[in-house]
Structure 1
Amino acid sequence: MRHSHSGARASRMARRALTTAVGLALLAPAGAALADHAATPQATDNGPAPAASASGAPQAVNLHSITVTAQKREQQVSDVPIAMSAYSGAFLKDMNIQNAQDLSDYVPGFNAELQSPNTPGYQIRGLTSDDTAATQTSRVSIFQDGVDISRLQGSNVAMFDMQRIEVLRGPQSTLFGRGAESGAISLIENKPVDATRAGYDLSLGNYQAMQFSGFANTPLSDNVFGRLAVYSATHEGYYENLSGGRLNGQNTVAIRPSLLFKLGDDSSITLIGNVQRDTPPGTDFHSRTIPNRYGSTDVWGPADLNRGKQLGIDRRLGGLTMLGDFKLNDDWRLTSITGYRHVDSAEKLDADGSPYDLVEIDTHVRSHQFSQEFRFNYDAGGALTAFGGLSYFQDDALEHVTIQYDESQFFPYVIVDGLPRFFPSGYVPGALLGQPTDLPVPYVQQLLRQQLAAFPQINPVASLLYSTPVPFNTNMSEGYADSSNTRALDAFADGTWHVTDRFDLTAGVRVSRERIRSGYQVYNTTVPGTLGFLGLNNGFMPVTPNDLFAPTNGKVTGQGSFTSVVGRLVGAWQVGDHVNAYASVARGRKPNVIQVSADGSETLPPEILLSAEAGVKGDAADGRFLYDVAVYRYRYSDFQSTIYQDARYIVRNAGRANAHGLEMSLQGKLSDHASLLFNYNYIHARFADTDKNGNPQQWAGNRLRLTPDNSASLALLWDIPMDGGRAFYVRPSYSWKSAVYFEDDNNPNYYQKAYGLLNLRLGMTFDRGAWDVGLWARNLTGEKYLLDAGNTGATFGLPTYIPGAPRTFGISLSGRF
């Protein structure tokens, strides 16, 4: 324990030294650069970024090539016939947006929760992606500079040196492939340019928080430009762990080198490397069932997780991207996107949320991914603009899960206390206890507790059956491995026909051929357990020598090949010079799941989403008021829901579900120096009463998990110019969400009531924005809310609750040269 602590402290000291050295290196050219800055002031971006007109080229709705022009005040995407939001890197900085969870406050229809770097959750229009199993694909596609990074353990990347972020809502499978059933998020990072520039952002706050990012850009020759961006963020953790250390903290280091090679006047190749490591402390899975050592079950008070400082994550991400943009002639361009990604993430978590050795879980995920896309764009200036191409995707993933526990503690808390859950009839079968008749649950509980009080290290049931004392295994350890190998080849095409000067018709299609192989293998305990004969997690069929997992006696596999077709049809009208409207229909798809267990494999059908959408975008009052409104209706079939069964998460076909909603984004320019942003989202997402065969559904009428019926946000951006190139700014924002259930079964115990968060950023800029000194605060009112509830512990009768971040505040300093 002491060695581990000293190693972490040395790591932090080394990281701070590295951060300081990089910061000094970036500050070194300040003297020469400031003169250049004074001669050519940099633009300041303060809001959502506008996109190039979709009517000019259909690739404008493809996030790989969408063009965003930053102005003094960014504007809504007005010409793209898709419900989407785009925010520049400057806006992210202005509003102190540091991750996807912060971003979701400003995007109607999008919600994100970040339990940890290893377990993010993304939800667009009621469809949630938060299943980390190796065999699962995402419903929400996440792209980093055009490369799919949607596997959840590797999707939560540091947002630094960003050019912009695009969020598209609704089925985007035509444009983004197999994982974009409900939407797409594209992270577009700054690329090398033909200029000498540098900058940094430094923030210090409570909970020993420090965040630093910096970049340096320079030409290396007439046709080669280089850029280096670095990032470091750490805080000790918001909640104390009485068993040692703190929880819900951060410890991230990332570096991104990139090179751009110009090939003539209108072609280029860009190489981008991404390396990131996260070593935060453990997640605060807090029990309301078992109190801490002081007798408290307050979720927002100190936790008492028994492995102390051993809890935590060690996640390593690596990637290499090559972007090619080639002009073939005046009408044709070729885009090539090549990506390689590697994820290696290990986590130790306390799933029971208590000081006892009940459900201690270790996970280790490794994945390797390669992708290649070739896309041809056509635009001859006539009635048709189009693109089409081929893409290949390869992903190999392996997840190891080990559960460790002390049977002498596991038995009273999980087995004895859980008898009513195991036997809802109220009677324990006599055969399990060697008795001729069934016995009432309360009576059996009383007998077992009496035996445990007298002989706490002896299994009373096993001893009764075998007529000899059977000691508990106090160091029980068993586990399993899930694996997945995916190969997918896609062909896609999308074209826009400019029917008239004011009406465009767009159609797109993507055909995918997938080959999926899944595997499952149980790793038996080395010392036999004493509970496996009960078979409580296996339909009362014995699983000895294990207690939880039925032995597989090697690796069980399943495989299949599948073909899918998705598409979209969009009509776009320019109603007037300041109003655009559109209507669309689309088909989205979540791929088949090959689910493997000790009994064999099962193939679940693909989840299908049919979408109808209409929207209107425009401006009024000479551009001082901007609006973007969309309405939609969804129909889901073969909805894939995750449940916990046989001591592991599996996917079940939950049947049909429906949703309809309204999304609204409004901006108003109050004066030359102040603007107001307002976002609102309404969604009614419920499981249908009957399945496709007319049979009643188990969850009929239930809300889809993690989906608030209503959410809204309001932000003010106010600048007060002063003499000498200075300005004072104020950036208050407030976000609110209605109540949500954390599980599809709508268990009222796993529920978050409506809540709102108030954030604030204010400060002073100098030298026309070259320098910035500010103060910031998040959750200014100290609102108490939950990130998640139930979790793995709930399946053992030990639900846990993850508290959200408390009030945080600090100072910031930034400079651009």
Structure 2
Amino acid sequence: MKQFSTIVRGLAIAALASSSGIALAQATAPAETAVADAASVDTGDIIVTAQKRAERLRDVPMSINAATGDHLKSLGVTSSEQLEKLVPGFTFQRTVYGLPVFFLRGVGFNDTTLGVSPGVSVYVDQQPLPFSAMTRGAMLDIERVEVLKGPQGTLFGQNSTGGAINYIAAKPTDELKAGVEASYGRFNEITGEAFVSGPLTSTLSGRIAVRGERQGDWQRGYTNGDTIGRRRFVNGRAILDWKPADTIRAELVATAWHDTSDTQQPQTVAYTPLLTGPMARPVPFPLATFPVSPRSPRAAAWDPNGDFVRDDRLYHISGRVEVDLSSAVTLTSLTSYADYRQSIPLDLDGTTFSSGVSDDTGRIKTFAQELRLTGDTPSGLKWMVGGNYQHDKVFERLIFDPMITSGTAVGPATFDSFFVDNDQKIESKAVFASLDLPLADRLVLQGSVRYTDQKRDFAGCVRDNGNGQISAALGLLSTIFTGAPQTIPLGGCGTLGANFLPAPIVTGKLNEDNLSWRASLNWNLDSQSLLYANVTKGYKSGSFPTLPASSAVQLRPVPQESVLAFEAGAKLGFGRMLQVEAAAFYYRYRDKQLVGFLVDPVFGPLPSLVSIPKNHIQGAEITATLRPVAGFTLTASGTYVDTRIDRNPINPTGPYGTPSDFVGQRFPYTPRWQGSLDAQYRFPAFADLYAFLGGTITARSSTTGALLSGDPAVAALEAGLKIDGYALVDLRAGIEASDERWRLELWGRNITNKFYVNGVTRNSDFTTRFAGMPATYGLTVRYRFN
């Protein structure tokens, strides 16, 4: 016990010292950081495929965070949303309708639309999951994850300005292997995972993995004591590897998951009617006197008569074929088809009144095909050429039933429920090439380029559900504006077209092309150290919004955005004891896509897509991994990101409808400082058993959930859109067999029960936020069969 307490005190002192001196003085780095078990893995030699070929992480001239699947589990990271624990510079936000949005170095797109192309793209074994809602089950039975920072698009199929996340699934093995894992935690959380892998014939092997999650209610009604928040999630993947000859390799992967959990309910921050005066609708509930939510992780309020069980599911089939045309040339084909469906019910106002229930329903069908040739020469030259095709069909329908707010009226015409439709068809074609050219001993010039042509067709509008309310209200509005009687059929499109006349549907086209490229000069000082400098130009496609728009003008798309990124970095190894990675970067950011606000003549101030013409980002990262003694690993990472808007968009409008000036403001959901500290000590306990102790501290500074107007008249209201900084502490301890075949672990996440926010927005009459999880703790048991 004395040894145990001494170790714990030592870890605590190291954690506090490092977090104040390193992690919060921040600079970040891509990291080999918390890459693997502190006991035995040299993180500098982890193999990654960030450039679509197998390389040591320390030899790749770009900012990358990489971690093994086992280490992710020890950190409690089971979904992309939790990568903040591992990747400084990465942030996660939940939109008002519960969809995930990812940011890297301040670059991301926090639109609520299901069919929006993300700023940070996600892949599984280089196969795309092109929309963020599809990423829920990507972290099943993975070998590792690679997070690439900076614009990506020259080598990966989907352009993105922020970065890319590539999950590498664990592959079938040549020998029979199996494993099981089970956890029990707070709120009666029960999770189980299992896999079996091995040969089926002399040329065919397979692997099957499944995971189930079950948890009781964790949110509590702060006005009535009701509970909500149960989790029900199942996930499965099957892989077949076929090697009919030494020169041919084929892989078929089938993945499916189904989520029937309760949706997380938002917390009410403030009630501010959209409209006042004669155009406002009298609200039949005392919303103004409903108490705002306390700053408690579990607090919530929702319609007690509502059904808030989501129904989200994904089916994904992909194939990979590799043929060695010669000893130096390989042909690779990647084929992918995915079908995603969702139903996300939510109480938007965060009260117990029936005043803001919605259901975000939708379907995505996406097909992608890539062909590429890769080769190398005895002189060290490496090359790649290829093409990519992708076709997406996305239909989204927001159902508001009822949506009783002050903005749902046009004179005497009022409406309680309506639909918002967004139907998009997206076709992308691209060709790409890359070249690695040795200039001298250990000095290499790299270049890559991709030309992309994308066509996006849109059809959508706001319509009633057949009760005629929207038709009557917007028909009356059209009559007022045109001076002639206008009618809209029941269930017809209510969004008014040109000259405020009724239109059968609002349609639009967005045809864009771009040339993304990357140039890199890197110098290997020795087998452990690398210096590099990169210049990268990247794009993200434009987008059509999903809005309850009374005018077709509000459904205009935003054009594609671009980032020109300059980065210089170093990856330095000092034996196994110390590894350091550092980078500095500067981005010139053009036409940044952002969710701003506009004043709708019917609905009042509403979220709207805006294009910020000129912006910049600058910052630095550092990661240090120290192994002073056998079994002990300490990893500290930090990042500093300074984002700025340099030029206003057209008619800048604040979240409360006031004219604004955004110049000089930082981007929403972009803390200036982020840092993390991870420590683990593994030591012999007795017999053939080892004990381990570990902990992780993650911290970030304050940010906002929207661009603010700076108007003193609404300063008190806009204060509710600010997100405080916070620090979270996780701990773990346990024992395992010396050969790591079995493991018993006790863990705690957010052990101080810190209140923190990962999403806040002005929606209709309400400002609401999503709180992070409270303290959780539990026990995990794992066993591997060989």
Sort the TM-score into its range (normalised by shorter chain). Answer: 0.7 to 0.9
Cα pair 1:592 1:604 within 8 Å, conserved: yes
1:652 matched to 2:610? The reply is yes
1:508 matched to 2:448? The reply is yes
| CA distance 1:259–1:116, shift in 2 (3 Å) | farther
SS in 1 for 2:613: coil
Pairwise mapping of residues 324-403 of structure 1 onto structure 2 (< 5 A)? Answer: 324-403=321-400
CA distance in 2: counterparts of 1:303 and 1:544, whole angstroms: 42
| CA distance 1:561–1:801, shift in 2 (3 Å) | closer
CA distance in 2: counterparts of 1:629 and 1:715, whole angstroms: 18
Structure-2 residue corresponding to 1:666: 624
Deviation of the 1:360 alpha carbon: 1.6
| CA distance 1:371–1:533, shift in 2 (3 Å) | closer
Of 711, 722, 728, 1:757 maps to: 728
SS in 2 for 1:499: strand
Cα pair 2:232 2:260 within 8 Å, conserved: yes
| CA distance 1:626–1:286, shift in 2 (3 Å) | same
Structure-1 residue corresponding to 2:699: 736
Of 717, 734, 741, 2:680 maps to: 717
1:212 matched to 2:184? The reply is no
Letter in 1 for 2:293: T
1:162 matched to 2:142? The reply is yes
Deviation of the 1:748 alpha carbon: 2.6
CA distance in 2: counterparts of 1:510 and 1:777, whole angstroms: 45
| Pairs aligned (count) | 698
Q: Deviations over 1:108-140 (max 9, x none)?
A: 221224579951120011012342414521111
| CA distance 1:238–1:772, shift in 2 (3 Å) | same
Of 268, 276, 294, 1:287 maps to: 268
| CA distance 1:715–1:606, shift in 2 (3 Å) | same
Of 547, 552, 561, 1:607 maps to: 561
| CA distance 1:530–1:569, shift in 2 (3 Å) | closer
| CA distance 1:117–1:503, shift in 2 (3 Å) | farther
| CA distance 1:593–1:360, shift in 2 (3 Å) | same
1:153 matched to 2:133? The reply is yes
1:800 matched to 2:768? The reply is yes
Cα pair 1:246 1:282 within 8 Å, conserved: no
| CA distance 1:61–1:218, shift in 2 (3 Å) | closer
| CA distance 1:535–1:588, shift in 2 (3 Å) | farther
Deviation of the 1:766 alpha carbon: 2.2
Which protein has greater RCO, CA pairs closer than 8 Å, 6+ apart? 2
1:679 matched to 2:637? The reply is yes
Letter in 2 for 1:111: T
Letter in 2 for 1:583: A
Query: 233-242 or 675-684, which moves further after superposition?
Result: 233-242
| CA distance 1:540–1:687, shift in 2 (3 Å) | farther
CA distance in 1: counterparts of 2:518 and 2:470, whole angstroms: 57
SS in 2 for 1:160: coil
1:66 matched to 2:11? The reply is no
Query: 236-245 or 316-325, which moves further after superposition?
Result: 236-245
CA distance in 2: counterparts of 1:619 and 1:539, whole angstroms: 73
| CA distance 1:541–1:258, shift in 2 (3 Å) | farther
Deviation of the 1:180 alpha carbon: 2.0
| CA distance 1:530–1:492, shift in 2 (3 Å) | closer
| CA distance 1:101–1:560, shift in 2 (3 Å) | closer
Of 218, 221, 225, 2:205 maps to: 225
Deviation of the 1:316 alpha carbon: 0.6
Deviation of the 1:340 alpha carbon: 0.5
Letter in 2 for 1:278: D
Cα pair 2:114 2:133 within 8 Å, conserved: no
Letter in 2 for 1:643: G
1:625 matched to 2:578? The reply is yes
SS in 2 for 1:382: coil
Deviation of the 1:146 alpha carbon: 1.4
Cα pair 2:720 2:767 within 8 Å, conserved: no
| CA distance 1:745–1:531, shift in 2 (3 Å) | farther
Deviation of the 1:767 alpha carbon: 5.0
Name the TM-score, length of structure 1 as normaliser. Answer: 0.80
SS in 2 for 1:203: strand
Structure-2 residue corresponding to 1:572: 522
Structure-2 residue corresponding to 1:273: 254
Letter in 2 for 1:513: D
Pairwise mapping of residues 75-474 of structure 1 onto structure 2 (< 5 A)? Answer: 77-113=57-93, 119-241=99-221, 246-289=227-270, 295=291, 297-300=293-296, 302-308=299-305, 310-405=307-402, 407=404, 410-411=405-406, 462=412
CA distance in 2: counterparts of 1:309 and 1:204, whole angstroms: 29
Name the TM-score, length of structure 2 as normaliser. Answer: 0.83
CA distance in 2: counterparts of 1:799 and 1:691, whole angstroms: 24
CA distance in 2: counterparts of 1:536 and 1:236, whole angstroms: 48
Letter in 1 for 2:162: S
Query: 179-188 or 289-298, which moves further after superposition?
Result: 289-298
Deviation of the 1:528 alpha carbon: 4.2
Deviation of the 1:52 alpha carbon: 5.0
Letter in 1 for 2:254: G
Cα pair 1:243 1:306 within 8 Å, conserved: no
Structure-2 residue corresponding to 1:17: none
Cα pair 2:115 2:131 within 8 Å, conserved: no
| CA distance 1:649–1:153, shift in 2 (3 Å) | farther
| CA distance 1:540–1:617, shift in 2 (3 Å) | farther
Deviation of the 1:731 alpha carbon: 1.3
Of 760, 779, 782, 2:753 maps to: 782
Q: Which runs of 5+ in 1 are unaligned?
A: 1-41, 54-59, 69-76, 417-431, 433-460, 463-469
Cα pair 1:128 1:139 within 8 Å, conserved: yes
SS in 2 for 1:372: strand
Q: Which runs of 5+ in 2 are unaligned?
A: 1-36, 272-286, 497-501, 652-658, 710-717
| CA distance 1:247–1:744, shift in 2 (3 Å) | farther
Structure-2 residue corresponding to 1:429: none
Of 681, 689, 700, 1:726 maps to: 689
Cα pair 1:45 1:88 within 8 Å, conserved: no
| CA distance 1:406–1:337, shift in 2 (3 Å) | closer
SS in 2 for 1:86: strand
CA distance in 2: counterparts of 1:816 and 1:115, whole angstroms: 39
SS in 1 for 2:265: coil
CA distance in 1: counterparts of 2:205 and 2:618, whole angstroms: 48
Letter in 2 for 1:608: S
The root-mean-square deviation of aligned C-alpha atoms, in Å, is 3.2
Letter in 2 for 1:297: S
Cα pair 1:132 1:152 within 8 Å, conserved: no
1:593 matched to 2:543? The reply is yes
Q: Deviations over 1:723-746 (max 9, x none)?
A: 322000011110000001111337
